[in-house]
Structure 1
């Protein structure tokens, strides 16, 4: 496992206020097309742009408040969505003679940890683009209150990722977190109490990445590099059609990677278990060790458990009054911070492997799925070896397609929510999940 990157306890994380700036937004919206052009990223959003232009026009006229829930397969999503909202939607409004009363501005929730790993410049940009920083592993009342107030006030649409984090797969969705439903019902309650007749709608946005050219030669070369690195047989040892051979090779690479992780965790491999079952056992074991270290209960789904571990680690790394501790206590705090960082790394590996499975490429063996799984494996090796894996040759430029799903009105559900909150939350999340599935590539028509 990588050594602890944190060597000392640090002062407590301060709250990052929202400091939206039109100047920063204008500069970012100008730079984004140049950035995408340099990366070769092609964006397709014509239908979504027009539909969102109509929704924003209705929102700005006071007809409704908007909560936008987007699929989150990639760390590029915020940039792609910023280009959609700030560049493409205004152009679509102009083309279809829709009146926008003012430039589009947004409020969006983002993980407070992003500025830690992405750097202070990214944190500065997030604040000035309308971001509301939230601690995902605990009940962050100030952030939730700010998001709730923004949604009720309605001047700015609120944007959230119901999956909570990226899973790096365009064709498979992670379990949704209930926060989006809770925010929607809270806002509907507040509107009702205030006698405000505006509708409240949740708009699902689908995001699908794919490669513009299916460069199987580059993919095979990177499979060869992984096989050499792991010391396993290369393509010559396999027989059959290329599709089956690639799937077998990628699963074999994943199996060798899993063996290394099982050895690290002192897990005895069970030859009777399938690849997916062994990955599942590794995940549960890794989470249980981290939870035992922090004294946490193993409750909730995998994502919820990861968030609590993350927060427990942060509580030991970022501490109030750490600079005022006497020397011995400060040394113990540093020791505890290093141990917490190692457990955080263990959790990150487990979280990364939530997306690694054999079925993703077995269910549908196309280039995009092979490439996404290949990148996941390369990134996992980089995590274990504590250095980025430089995959060569390039798989080529990508495209991203944005789709807008059917709107989910919230206020008609309010009476049911007031009678039975738990059931109404579950039903709403089921409907939102289905709406997001409908705009995913395997199901969209």
Structure 2
């Protein structure tokens, strides 16, 4: 397990206000093609640019409000979407003869923790691009109200990732969180109370990454490097899946020894990974006195928030010396539990079935990258995988709009059921977009 990076308690996290700047967005828009070129990433907008051009034209003419819900397989998604919204959609609108009276401005939710690990510059840019910072592990009422108001007022489309976080897999989606559906119903009720007749549309946006030219030789070299790093003998050179599973088994065995877990003999790797995940979650929850309930994502968010509450403290400078020392001690322990939770998150997507279900290059490559990232996280040193797996493409797609107002009556009679149904419908739409790109 990596050493704790936090050595002392820190002042409480301040709220990051939204300070949208067209100037900053204009500069970023011009830089994005250079960023994609440096990453050798090719963009394929499919039907997304023209479909969104029609939606934004109607939105800017006061005919509807928009909530855009996108698949979130990669940390690069925000840059891809920024290029789509700021450049490709206006180009498509001109091509279709549609009028956009003003530049597209967005509001989007992002995790308040991002600037902590990505740096203050990223936090500054997120604010200037219309971001609404939200604490994901607790009921962040100010952030939710800001997002709700933006959606109800309708001047800015609201952009959210209903998976809550990246899973680094283009072919498998994490369970959706219900917050997107709940925001949509809140805004629809606000619009109804204000006698606002505009429909509110939830628009599913699909994102899929793939390698443009499968380079099996490079993948074989990456597998060999992992085997050598873990001290494995090069067996079954022709069976990539078995090699990948053997690497995963060696990695999970090391973690089991660290946590003093004793798996059953011949227990399948997927079950061992699940046991490790649950053990890590329970250990962190026990440390913070949290109740073990909800989905894996929800449990991780509560652990994250509990750790932050102990690391980032109110009135820290007013503590007497002994209490300040104890606060530092508690912060170090909290960071260690946060590290344990992050490692559990890294293993959320690791499984044997992902490459068994569809043993193509993209799935093998994504799983190798996940394993490399997990090893880098454990060793507190980023894994520099070589040789390169080659240039990639990202394909975007648009699903049919989900109208919210026709569901409001059901929401008022049974809120939980209506939120779950809208979440299920959105998940189905995103799944269909993902599968359509796989065919």
Instruction: Please give the TM-score of this superposition, normalised by the length of structure 1.
Output: 0.98
2-structure distance, mates of 1:207, 1:262 = 35
2-structure distance, mates of 1:415, 1:335 = 52
Report if aligned partners of 2:18, 2:130 keep a CA contact under 8 Å in 1.
Answer: yes
For residue 367 of structure 2, the aligned residue among 369, 373, 376 is 373
For residue 236 of structure 2, the aligned residue among 223, 226, 238 is 238
1:26 matched to which residue of 2? 26
Per-residue CA distance 1:119-139 (angstroms, 9 max, x = gap): 000000000000000000000
2-structure distance, mates of 1:264, 1:90 = 54
1-structure distance, mates of 2:437, 2:216 = 25
- Pairwise mapping of residues 18-417 of structure 1 onto structure 2 (< 5 A)? 18-234=18-234, 237-238=235-236, 242=238, 245-417=239-411
Evaluate the alpha carbon distance shift between residue 231 and residue 442 of structure 1 in structure 2; reply closer, same or farther with a 3 A threshold.
farther
Residue 126 of structure 1: SS of its match in structure 2? helix
Residue 47 of structure 2: SS of its match in structure 1? helix
1-structure distance, mates of 2:274, 2:232 = 23
Report if aligned partners of 1:163, 1:177 keep a CA contact under 8 Å in 2.
Answer: yes
Report if aligned partners of 2:24, 2:129 keep a CA contact under 8 Å in 1.
Answer: yes
How far off is 1:216 after superposition?
0.6
Q: Let me know the Cα RMSD of the aligned residues.
A: 0.9
Residue 434 of structure 2: SS of its match in structure 1? coil
2-structure distance, mates of 1:77, 1:426 = 26
Report if aligned partners of 1:41, 1:398 keep a CA contact under 8 Å in 2.
Answer: yes
Residue 259 of structure 1: SS of its match in structure 2? helix
How far off is 1:41 after superposition?
0.5
2-structure distance, mates of 1:238, 1:377 = 19
2:426 counterpart of 1:432: yes
Residue 439 of structure 1: SS of its match in structure 2? helix
Please, which runs of 5 or more residues in structure 2 have no aligned partner? Answer: none
Report if aligned partners of 2:138, 2:302 keep a CA contact under 8 Å in 1.
Answer: yes
Report if aligned partners of 1:259, 1:269 keep a CA contact under 8 Å in 2.
Answer: no
2-structure distance, mates of 1:4, 1:105 = 39
Report if aligned partners of 2:57, 2:100 keep a CA contact under 8 Å in 1.
Answer: yes
2-structure distance, mates of 1:17, 1:193 = 27
2-structure distance, mates of 1:106, 1:116 = 23
Report if aligned partners of 1:212, 1:398 keep a CA contact under 8 Å in 2.
Answer: yes
How far off is 1:441 after superposition?
3.9
Residue 440 of structure 1: SS of its match in structure 2? helix
How far off is 1:109 after superposition?
0.2
Report if aligned partners of 1:405, 1:436 keep a CA contact under 8 Å in 2.
Answer: yes
